[in-house]
Amino acid sequence: MESTELAVKKEQIDSLVVQTNEAITANQISATRAKQAGFALIDEISEMGMSDEMDEKCNLMLVKIRKTGAAMLDRRKPITQMFDTLKKVFTGFENDLDPKTNGSVYFQIQQARDIYAAEKAEKAKQIELERQRLLAIENEKVDVRSKISLALNEYFETHLQMSIDMLLNFFNKANLSDFNEKSLSIKAFPVVYDRKHFDQFTKSVSVIYIDQNTITSIIDETKSEETFKMFAEIYWNKIDDLKLNLVEKLPGKLQELQQIAEAEKANKEEADRLKKQQADREAEEKLKQQQEAENRKKETELKVGQEKSTAQMQNLFDATPVETVNTSQVRTGYEITVTHQKGWLEIFNFWWINSGHDLPIDEIGRKSLDQMKTFCQTYAAKEGEKITSTYVKYKETFKAVAKA
């Protein structure tokens, strides 16, 4: 059936060439004669002007030209109709392969690829979301570990400072009446860090991803035996050194107290001078202890910060997939659905702000709402900006790209 139709078409094509030449020649002659007669009448009008007689000539000329045009149309119609028929034959073949024709072989294959591309993109999205979730968990563990480490260090430093202040108070506040008692308190002061104090440490931390059991586990890990030994060594060094220093100063302290007592009886100014000397030394010692504590705090913060940064970088490295879902051949876009008449107003407003206001007036008039919607879809894909509205819904679309 198809071969017979094609044979008929070929016969028609053969005769079409002859008919076309004949029709072109005849129409060319008709058009030339009509124009000559018409221009001659136009010249006559220019020379003689219009009158009832001239108007009648014009009417007759227009009727002749119209009939000539109709005759020309009748001659060419069979030919152009044949061209239209031939065009349909060609476009019919093309439509079978046209990517935009619903049901064409290309369309169906492309549709299968697009569905697969969407599935791959969704899989990649879910993998990435899970990767980000696990990374967030690990990073929160690092953050919690850093906070607990700093809190534990502050907890210990507070205890250490209390012990230092207590020793200094025994020494600084000693007077002649209780000097022996305060001296004994200094000498008997323990230099061993209390394990019970260390074990009692706990910390409440606000979290998003991890649970309380994980926090408890991190606290237990941070309160390691190694950390306790480090604190115990710091405590022993600081308290033992301070004790030895204060014990060495006790004879001088007693002598100074005696001098102040004697001066208060004989020379008030001398007594005030000695008291000021004493207060200055005490303030100097206190400042020294505070500075040492501040230095230890800064060192700890620097160390914890470096450990945190290193751990987060390692987490990022560990979370980077060795193999990823290949979506390089996939082009993504958006399809807009308008759910209410007001949505079209928002589409027009978005188009106007981002494009329309710069266009000439006549070009604006040629724009349809569907063209404006297409602009909004393309703008979302390129610029990442969407219309925020309950009446305009965006759906992500995926299209696999065919590459040679």
* Residue 323 pLDDT class (50, 70, 90 cuts): low
pTM above 0.85, yes or no: no
* Alpha-carbon distances, residue 183 vs 17, 172, 221, 238, 251 (angstroms): 130, 11, 40, 18, 10
**Predicted local confidence at residue 8, as pLDDT:** 45
Rounded Cα–Cα distance for residues 2 and 80 (Å):
23
Poorest-pLDDT segment among 51-55, 105-109, 258-262, 271-275: 271-275
Sequence ranges of the domains in the chain: 2-95, 129-319, 330-400
Q: What is the mean pLDDT of residues 157-163?
A: 93
Return the higher-pLDDT residue of 168 and 261.
168
Confidence of residue 324 (pLDDT cuts 50, 70, 90): low
CB 90 within 8 A of CB 56: no
Confidence of residue 10 (pLDDT cuts 50, 70, 90): low
Tell me the helix, strand and coil percentages in the chain, rounded to 5: 80, 5, 15
At 221 the pLDDT is 93
Could you read off the pLDDT of 31-40 as tens digits, one per residue? 999 999 999 9
Cα gap 135→132, rounded to integer Å: 5
Using CA atoms, how far apart are residues 246 and 242, in angstroms rounded to an integer? 6
Q: Which has the closest alpha carbon to 251: 318, 351, 174? A: 174
What mean pLDDT, rounded, does the chain reach?
A: 88
- Residues 315, 317: Cα–Cα separation, whole Å: 5
